[in-house]
Amino acid sequence: MNNLYRELAPITEAAWAEIELEATRTFKRHIAGRRVVDVSGPGGPTMAAVGVGRLTDVTPPVTG
């Protein structure tokens, strides 16, 4: 499946290679964050928040 229609785009093969490298780098950087953050999910479009177990409000560092 080729949804990008590369043959129709006025972009060289070298430019496509750069695009692929950047997309891969960005994806890996963002997906790597899931390793250090406790993620339960996906929860779907109806899930707005996840409780963290706090029973008291956290005071903000500044007012405003």
Residues 20-61 have pLDDT tens digits of 999 999 888 877 666 666 666 677 777 777 777 777 877 778
Query: Has residue 19 been placed in a domain?
Result: yes
Selected residue with higher pLDDT from 4 and 40: 4
Could you give the angle at the alpha carbon of 62 between the alpha carbons of 59 and 63, nearest 5°? Answer: 90
Residue 1 has pLDDT above 60, yes or no: no
Rounded average pLDDT over 10-24? 92
Owning domain of residue 17? 6-31
pLDDT for 6 beyond 70? yes
End-to-end CA distance of the chain: 51
Domain membership of residue 27 (yes or no) is: yes
Contact 15, 5 (CB under 8 A): no
Residue 38 domain-assigned (yes or no) = no
Report the number of distinct structural domains present in the chain.
1
18 pLDDT band, cuts 50/70/90, is very high
pLDDT of residue 33: 63
User: Is the distance from CB of 44 to CB of 38 less than 8 angstroms?
Assistant: no
Asked, for residue 63, whether it belongs to a domain, the answer is no
